[in-house]
A and B are shown apart, each in its own frame.
Chain A
Amino acid sequence: DAKTTQPNSMESNEEEPVHLPCNHSTISGTDYIHWYRQLPSQGPEYVIHGLTSNVNNRMASLAIAEDRKSSTLILHRATLRDAAVYYCILRDVDFGNEKLTFGTGTRLTIIP
């Protein structure tokens, strides 16, 4: 699996937008960009995924660079419940490689 690079930690104020960056310079044409997050004492949970176009859902938005070598997860209005470790993962499903390979992620702290 191609690797991703994320900052180890970030802080944000409550009720403000948060932009979590991810670099994936070796991404291949068939890699999807997935984001999961892990709240304290819980298993990871799916946030969003995309291939080329920007994506929105009820949890977040995913902005993908035109060359696909980087992406940004956007939380539009952070709450205390968004404090978690956020993982950016590349997933190539064309070769039957369905597993997710996690890195160390970005630990997001929300300041009240």
Chain B
Amino acid sequence: DTGVSQDPRHKITKRGQNVTFRCDPISEHNRLYWYRQTLGQGPEFLTYFQNEAQLEKSRLLSDRFSAERPKGSFSTLEIQRTEQGDSAMYLCASSSRDPNEKLFFGSGTQLSVL
């Protein structure tokens, strides 16, 4: 068990640029979640996959955000035309099929939009 891996750990970009983050979940986990966290707040749910199917999206996920999990393994989160308000920690988590199973979180990608 190597845990949930996120890449990169830090990303600095200029406003208007596109960025993409990657998440590698624990290998046998079929559920994958994306969260966003700003300073002093708890993580906010963005979206969730079961295998390759995206089952739920938050209203926070504007049309500039897109997430994929093409083969039910790793996932990517892309933000197009970044804005300063997108600056946050982006967290990925995975869990097994059991709906009450605990979530395992990665260390996150810290995005700074200048």
* A interface residues with partner B (beta carbon < 8 Å): 32, 34, 36, 41-46, 49, 85, 87, 91, 93, 96, 98-105
By the criterion CB–CB under 8 Å, are B95 and A43 in contact? no
* B interface residues with partner A (beta carbon < 8 Å): 4, 31, 33, 35, 40-45, 48, 56, 91, 93, 95, 99-100, 102-108
5 residue pairs, one from A and one from B, having the closest CB atoms: A43-B105, A102-B42, A46-B102, A93-B99, A102-B43
Contacts between the two chains (Cβ within 8 Å), count:
54
Picked from A42, A43, A100, A104, the residue with its CB within 8 Å of the CB of B41 is A104
By the criterion CB–CB under 8 Å, are A96 and B99 in contact? yes
Picked from B42, B45, B48, B107, the residue with its CB within 8 Å of the CB of A87 is B42
Cα separation A43 to B6 with both chains bound (whole Å):
11
Picked from B4, B100, B107, the residue with its CB within 8 Å of the CB of A32 is B100
Cα separation A46 to B104 with both chains bound (whole Å):
7
